[in-house]
Structure 1
Amino acid sequence: MSKINVCLFGRHSNRTPLVYSEYQQLFNQYINYVDDVKRADLVVLGFSVDLKGLIEEYGPLLKTRDGIRILVLSEEPLWDLLSNNDPLTNKSTWTNGEEEYEFFVANFFNSNVFKFKKVPYFLTTESFYFARYAYELTHFVNDFNEGNLRKHWAALNTKVCFLQQRRFNNVVFSNKFGNLALSSYRTNLAELLANSAANVYGLGWGNCAPRQTLPDWHLDKIVKFKNKFPLFSALENTLLSNYITEKIFDAFALRSVPLYFANSNHRVFELVEEESVVNLFGSSENSAKDVISNWHPNQVNMEAYYTTVCKLQSLFSDPENLHSERHRVVREVLGILHTVCS
């Protein structure tokens, strides 16, 4: 079978499985990366808003050249909720003037790409997650002392840290999706606590620059915030069962208790004990503020917390978990590419 010529297009194309160097080493066996749409069998975007630029620049080519396909391969469910197309459908159209352009869609909602087996997708995009978690959690397990940890948490001056962009949803989602987006929720909660129990960092808060401009934003987080807060926000921007980023694992590596927002059947609880986190699910921002303000280290279920630390240490200390998950993602993506191009 001949290789598919794939062109990554648009400023959001840096957020697809095809872009990460670790994944490219695997995909290179099956696809050719090309830097010119004119040479592509398949044009891959990370967000449907980039269709506008693609069609404005290459509309005539897309209409006249037989066999070229467009795929929005999205790893950001919040972007899918903001898109004009229904995130549940695998195929849609983009209208430009009197012309319609067909494109395909694969995302958290409608594909198996992100339905992880052992390791959530985002932790497979960079190898440093496994390396750092294995190191930090191994030391945490070896150092773990329930009494000392409670005393340490109780002695800290600030109760919780939020490290997130200050962002409000300025769109209205349909009833089908409106309760999934959490950007406004976590921003409102941080604002309610900022002058009392919380330190808040990130773009939009004071003079904080985008963390992506740091040489290593993740290492900076581990070094700067370890052992500094009893609670650490791990609230995602979207409530979706398979959507689990590094945030909750960072919190344990930082030796904090994560703040989270998830229903009881969320897949995060396959990885961490439900009683090892402060779960704000079902709480309004004001109710969540009260939960956090009244929180005390004595409320922590230390058996569940220690069990979680040990489970995560075991997970991240076995590189085979990372390798097998990456190969699963590659198989799923290749299946989609061949279906789209057939």
Structure 2
Amino acid sequence: MIRILPFGAFHNRQPLAYAPIRARLAGPVELVDTPSEAQILLISHHKDLELYGTRLLRLLAARPALRVVLLSEEPFWDSCWAPDPFSRYQGFATPEGVLPYAVLNHHTSAIYRAQRIPYFLLTDPRYIAHYRPLFDRNAGRSAAEWLAHFRDVPLDAGFIGEKRSHDRHNPAFPAQDVWGLSVFRSRFTHLCTAGRVLRAGKGWSDGPPRQELPDWHADKLALLDLRCRYVAGFENTHQADYLSEKIYDAFAVGAVPLYVAGKTHAVHRLVGPAGWLNFYAPPPKATAFDPRRRVTAPEAAAYAAVQARLATLFQDPAATETELDRLTTALVAEFRRLLS
């Protein structure tokens, strides 16, 4: 049994915080309530080191066998806040000395290297539950029917996301092909002025933050469903193993996704190499996109094929179960390695 204490201001944003994953870990992992019980103190953001570094160092001084592990689910945090997002073993300077810690993230481990379903969609069963009826509907449409749909949609493009322009949100690590996309996608949204365009989210529209809605994901799907020719699926960060819900949302609502992915990006094997538009260029640079652009017949054929594959994927409970098994096995293996 591996005894773990989730610790810090971001303890609710890491794999063990989500019920489907936590349930799978109940055998080999025990979540404890105090540092004196723990073998691993688990933090989730570099900010936790800034907030609690001295306290963590004192806990290690009292119990040298204790391990501090930064388990990050978010390349956006790693690339924008961490001085080094790519090294597995690091040290954080505190007024009382250097705190040693290990980093488990998309770059330093295989935890998030999905085989069929990306990590984020496993954190809450509602995501796939939302998708099932939409992809079932979509899978019944032919390429010709999609072409007719794209011709007649009321909106040319839809963009939902927070407007960001701060330099912090625009990191670049060319050697690792890791790029911040928050500023890129905000600029892309701003430059998309032709046609009928929906822009929503903090900085683009009024109202409370979308995260405060009773179900922000269902709200997003309902807002966009069968209304747009193109929908932006741009991530916060370009990293080879990182996919969130965004490109899947665009397919689910019957729009062609706009995305950024290099040749080694997991989207090519998890979704497929076609059926979406790719704006990858190192470094990513937003240019004016005309969403009145017509979808071609070959693009519609590839799009219909993706819809059929995704419908099959999300209707198969074994696919989710197998991916959860893979994820939790990888987590346990990493924890054991750090304790050995």
Under a length normalisation based on structure 2, what TM-score does the superposition of the two structures give? 0.91
| Alignment equivalent of 2:30, drawn from 9, 32, 35 | 32
Q: Deviations for 1:34-61, whole angstroms, at most 9, x for unmatched residues?
A: 2333432211111122012223445422
Secondary structure of the 2:16 match is: coil
Q: Hey, what's the Cα distance between the residues in 2 that align with 1:201 and 1:115? A: 31
Letter aligned with residue 217 of structure 1: W
Q: Hey, what's the Cα distance between the residues in 2 that align with 1:263 and 1:155? A: 32
Question: How do 1:215-226 and structure 2 match up within 5 A?
Answer: 215-226=214-225
In structure 2, the partner of 1:73 is 71
Q: Hey, what's the Cα distance between the residues in 1 that align with 2:4 and 2:47? A: 19
Secondary structure of the 1:72 match is: strand
Letter aligned with residue 119 of structure 2: Y
Secondary structure of the 1:94 match is: strand
Question: How do 1:50-65 and structure 2 match up within 5 A?
Answer: 50-65=48-63
The Cα of 1:275 is off from its aligned counterpart by 2.9
The Cα of 1:161 is off from its aligned counterpart by 0.6
Gaps of 5+ in 2: none
Q: Which is worse superposed, 320-329 or 199-208?
A: 199-208
In structure 2, the partner of 1:49 is 47
How many aligned residue pairs are there? 336
In structure 2, the partner of 1:158 is 155
Q: Hey, what's the Cα distance between the residues in 2 that align with 1:129 and 1:15? A: 17
Secondary structure of the 2:175 match is: coil
Gaps of 5+ in 1: none
The two structures, once aligned, show a CA RMSD in angstroms of: 2.1
Letter aligned with residue 243 of structure 1: Y
Letter aligned with residue 310 of structure 1: A
Secondary structure of the 2:331 match is: helix
Q: Hey, what's the Cα distance between the residues in 2 that align with 1:105 and 1:328? A: 20
1:244 pairs with 2:217: no
Letter aligned with residue 285 of structure 2: S
Q: Hey, what's the Cα distance between the residues in 2 that align with 1:184 and 1:53? A: 27
Q: Deviations for 1:196-229, whole angstroms, at most 9, x for unmatched residues?
A: 5421111222324221111111111222211111
Tell me: CA distance 1:59–1:267, structure 2 relative to 1, closer, same or farther (3 Å): closer
Q: Hey, what's the Cα distance between the residues in 1 that align with 2:297 and 2:35? A: 57
Tell me: CA distance 1:175–1:271, structure 2 relative to 1, closer, same or farther (3 Å): closer
Secondary structure of the 1:119 match is: coil
Letter aligned with residue 262 of structure 1: A
Q: Report percent identity of matched pairs.
A: 26
Under a length normalisation based on structure 1, what TM-score does the superposition of the two structures give? 0.91
Secondary structure of the 1:338 match is: helix
In structure 1, the partner of 2:286 is 285
* 8 Å contact kept, 2:70–2:101: yes
Question: How do 1:183-262 and structure 2 match up within 5 A?
Answer: 183-193=182-192, 197-262=196-261
Q: Hey, what's the Cα distance between the residues in 1 that align with 2:291 and 2:25? A: 48
Tell me: CA distance 1:69–1:273, structure 2 relative to 1, closer, same or farther (3 Å): closer
* 8 Å contact kept, 2:115–2:270: no
Tell me: CA distance 1:323–1:237, structure 2 relative to 1, closer, same or farther (3 Å): same
The Cα of 1:297 is off from its aligned counterpart by 3.4
* 8 Å contact kept, 2:71–2:103: yes
* 8 Å contact kept, 2:118–2:244: yes
Letter aligned with residue 274 of structure 2: E
